[in-house]
Structure 1
């Protein structure tokens, strides 16, 4: 069986509950997971739900310059020939609009091809599942249940995210925050200000103001970020000399250990925020163009708070706005709203 999911880290973490449910339901099936090379850091969150990983260069999902339409069509026959030789009998296309993956499964001659009923994928699938307004993790679970001709009631408590953390990463995370431990024992708060799409980011000055408030209340504050986000994390950390800047210094697994150690994680919609949910840490998620119904935290709503944009047009689903200064749907989220959610989850009373 081939399971196709071309997306990035957060969306792959949403696949974990469905893969583990499918593995428990079909313990003897051979499950091959097709992902982009950018998705490999999320694989621990899918542990126990697949037998083999197949990396494919899914066009339009690479960060930065995307392959043009001509190159996308050129890739199809080459990748289809590769899959045909593997003799899959079932393909699951888990992203609802992934027409390229649906065509790929069709050209590879996979006889049973199941995905969601969308105009982009419908012509290339042998069976479709009606698309609902629901969380992506719930949709993944429904798709797996449809394969077995059964029903399921997706629930984040029954079907949670999960990300195992190696002992050595826990020890490394503890060593990284030791300078903060020497300064006090207030709650450990991680601020992750970056996101894969710049339009999802909050105002830098508001992050600085929030960080200063946290430090003033005795919190130990860490700022994290991936490669290339060091200027952003450095700018936020400059709000107060007592803030620890770890931008660009953690692998995904080490970041998981750091987030698991925290009392609260704050940031815009991003893979690391969903990673925090997966390791059991309370979170505050800032949302703008992305739909929190589909992509919000898959966890207990008492522990994970979504703050939506005040703009009437949000969520629009568009992440490629060319004029970022003119697009402030996340930037305009009030500092007061984020502070209120922060104090609530930390149990502080103003």
Structure 2
């Protein structure tokens, strides 16, 4: 059914042509403030990795009106970005982490297109490379210039489809799209190289959020000089999780001051759904129990990560948020390619430990697959095979490098 509806959409664009009668009614006008729309349907981590694009567009096109359309699950990341003029939220199909009917994505497509037609946008950027639904959306919304990557089946809906650079960091790929958009509007391309130093991540906690963290730590007996280590062990895909006994061993070592860092206060963060995981880790520890926080806002979490001396975890959004706060981090990767989704920051302050043993039926590592069923997890232990010794050595090395 999904394939049938995609095929129908492709027939529509072939019938109308590109740009076609639907799009011919409007073109960007010289001297008029250009209106740019950015689409990014993803969750927290991917949105953090997208923030340099907003800053780059604002610097290159200070007069532009920038609108971003994101899922409600990640709007907190960009709603306070100073480069953004307007934020739209939409429950993009396929990203809701909840079942949907077969026809729901197509009903939502027409609904969103009607909404966007009122915006008078001159140019749109489909920031997620494989998001065909987004490419179809900006076409049906009648936006005259539509930029994205040349991946099927979305490429025919674009006016400028860039060749997709495989194994390139996601932030760098997004900056390429931004540069193409800037040039399409008559401005010079973004300066290269696209590096984390030139195009850093952006998220700023408010003064109230910083104060909340200070007050909370004082209430639980952690002084301003106290060493704080945050562990965010959870993630969206179970195959990316490490072992709870491994986390418990590592937490005990940090609490005893054994890894080149003075004895630390441990704070476990996560979502309410991850509370059982965090409690299991805490129960296996031999030292004093850690603090467990599962109801923080994104801003409070960022402020806490910024206060910490070290943040540890797996492949998840909060670890990218830690990079935006310039707090040293160590994370473990298995099925995900860290060349694409690894930390966008100083390599001396952020370390990735990759699994080295591929799983039984995976052709390679990283395999790129995250949708394993619970029955399949036992035969896909790549992250779980990372040893406590490797993790402890990585943490010690990170602490020494970051202190220089």
Shared fold (TM-score greater than 0.5)? yes
User: Structure 2 residue aligned with 1:138, among 165, 172, 176?
Assistant: 172
Q: Please name the residue that 1:305 is paired with.
A: 351
Aligned pair partner of 2:122 in 78, 85, 89: 89
Deviation at 1:185, TM superposition (A): 5.8
Counterpart pick for 1:13 among 25, 48, 53:
48
Does structure 1 conserve the Cα–Cα contact (< 8 Å) formed by 2:255 and 2:287? Answer: no
Partner Cα separation in structure 2 for residue 227 and residue 51 of structure 1: 32
Matched, 1:216 2:251: no
Question: Match of 2:104, SS?
Answer: helix
Gaps of 5+ in 2: 1-35, 184-188, 258-262, 359-363
Pair 1:225-2:270 in alignment? yes
Instruction: Give the alignment partner of residue 199 of structure 1, picking from 239, 242, 267.
Output: 239
Q: CA deviation at 1:245?
A: 2.4
What TM-score does the superposition give when structure 2 sets the normalisation length? 0.82
Q: What are the Cα deviations for residues 201-247 of structure 1, in whole angstroms up to 9, with x where unaligned? A: 11111101111111122222111112211111122223145243223
Equivalent residue, structure 2, for 1:283: 329
What secondary structure is seen at the aligned counterpart in 2 of 1:229? Answer: helix
The equivalent of 1:250 in structure 2 is: 296
Take 2:99 and 2:93, find their aligned partners in 1: how far apart are those partners?
7
Cα distance in 2 for residues equivalent to 1:222 and 1:240 = 15
Provide the rounded CA distance (Å) in 2 between the counterparts of 1:302 and 1:234: 32
Residue 61 of structure 1: SS of its match in structure 2?
coil
Cα distance in 2 for partners of 1:55, 1:160 equals 24
- How far off its partner does 1:332 sit? 1.2
CA distance in 1, matches of 2:161, 2:221: 52
Tell me if structure 1 keeps the 8 A contact 2:124–2:147.
yes
* Higher alpha-carbon deviation: 248-257 or 268-277: 248-257
Superposition pairs of residues 1-350 of structure 1, within 5 angstroms? 1-43=36-78, 47-63=81-97, 65-132=98-165, 133-149=167-183, 150-151=189-190, 152-178=192-218, 179-181=220-222, 187-217=227-257, 218-238=263-283, 239-240=285-286, 242-312=288-358, 313-322=364-373, 323-347=376-400
Deviations 1:90-144 (A, max 9, x none): 1100000000000111111111110011123211111111211211111111111
- Quick check: 1:37–1:55 contact (8 Å CA) kept in 2? yes
Give, in angstroms, the shift of residue 82 of structure 1.
1.4
Measure how far apart 1:274 and its partner are. 0.3
C-alpha separation between the residues in 2 aligned to 1:20 and 1:166? 19
Question: Which TM-score applies when normalising by structure 1?
Answer: 0.94
Q: Can you list the C-alpha shifts for 1:177-216, whole angstroms capped at 9, x where unaligned?
A: 333526x966321111001112111111110111111112
Over alpha carbons, which structure has the higher Rg? 2
Do the aligned partners of 1:234 and 1:245 also contact (CA within 8 Å) in 2? no
Instruction: For residue 347 of structure 1, report the CA deviation from its aligned partner.
Output: 2.8
SS of aligned partner of 1:60? coil
| Offset from partner CA, 1:123-178 (integer Å, 9 cap, x none) | 11111112112111111111111112225321001111121111221122123333
